[in-house]
Amino acid sequence: KNQVEQSPQSLIILEGKNCTLQCNYTVSPFSNLRWYKQDTGRGPVSLTIMTFSENTKSNGRYTATLDADTKQSSLHITASQLSDSASYICVVSKGRVTGGGNKLTFGTGTQLKVEL
Amino acid sequence: DTGVSQNPRHKITKRGQNVTFRCDPISEHNRLYWYRQTLGQGPEFLTYFQNEAQLEKSRLLSDRFSAERPKGSFSTLEIQRTEQGDSAMYLCASSLDTGGYQPQHFGDGTRLSIL
């Protein structure tokens, strides 16, 4: 069973609208949570990294939140653009190691499509 | 461009052949990772190097797979006697061990298709 679950699996929104993607995890012990954007046929690109003590982090129009008590995270995209069409992957790092080795557990991603 | 570079971008080969992929990490990064990604899934960890030392290997990495990172710079991933189940995107990532939380920087992958 995947320890990082994302919802929805896919989402279609109109350009200019906002959306929120969800991530629930059971990875323990928790170190940090990352959101990546992956365009079709490309490698993932880091958007945010949050540690246990951080509950929100922004990167331009992307804002990630973290509730370490409920083990939930969200990624909010504001004023969506066509270029936001991509897969958004939630990644949780466990243990005290800062991400080396097999410490990262990837979700299966939310496929976002932004239309005119 | 100083990002992670992977070659080739695409590889098509017949079942049973050997293939080798190359990854050039960001030059100052001492950690290098290999992942495999199939359609609709997130990347799955294969192996990890700290400088030239291969520190971890996933059980996904069968004895047909071997990875090297001579001199702690570029890395190669070789698959021997390829099988159709090996068809996937092979991603390389690198990061810098600073003691803090550093993101992994991914290359654009090598897409392997087994005929």
Residues B18-70 pLDDT 10s? 999 999 999 989 999 999 999 989 999 999 999 999 988 888 788 999 999 99
Whole-number pLDDT of residue B3: 93
Instruction: Give the pLDDT score at A1.
Output: 60
Q: What's the pLDDT band for A2 if we cut at 50, 70, 90?
A: low
Cross-strand bridge partners of residue B93: B33, B106
Mean pLDDT of chain A: 91
Among A43, A49, A106, whose Cβ lies nearest the Cβ of B108?
A: A43
Q: Minimal Cα–Cα distance from A108 to chain B, Å?
A: 4
d(CA A93, CA B48): 15
Which pLDDT belongs to residue B89? 97
pLDDT of residue A102: 53
Q: What is the mean pLDDT of residues A9-34?
A: 94
Residue A93 banded pLDDT, cuts 50, 70, 90: confident
Better pLDDT: A105 or B77: B77
Q: 76-105 in A: which are within 8 Å (CB) of B?
A: 89, 91, 93, 98-102, 104
Mutate to test the interface with B, among A102, A108, A111 (most CBs of B within 10 A): A102
Rounded distance between C-alpha atoms, residue A54 and residue A110, angstroms: 23
Inter-CA distances, B3 with A44, A109, B106, Å: 12, 23, 8
Q: Which residues contact A36 (CB under 8 A, 6 or more apart)?
A: A44, A45, A46, A47, A88, A89, A91, B106
- B12, B110 Cβ separation under 8 angstroms: no
Question: Which pLDDT belongs to residue A15?
Answer: 97
Query: What's the pLDDT at B1?
Result: 54
Over 60: is that where the pLDDT of A100 sits?
A: no
pLDDT at A101: 53
Q: Sort A28 into a burial class: Cβ within 10 Å, 0-12 / 13-18 / 19+.
A: exposed
Q: How large is the average pLDDT for residues A45-50?
A: 94
Identify the pLDDT of residue A27: 86
Distance from CA of B81 to the nearest CA of A (A): 25
Nearest C-alpha neighbor of A99 from the set B97, B62, B44, B67: B97
| pLDDT-based confidence at residue A96 (cuts at 50, 70, 90) | low
- Check if the beta carbon of residue B34 is closer than 8 Å to that of residue B23: yes
Q: Are B1 and B101 in contact (CB under 8 A)?
A: no
CA gyration radius, chain B: 14
Query: Does the pLDDT at position A36 exceed 90?
Result: yes
Output phi, psi for B88, to 5 deg.
-175, 175
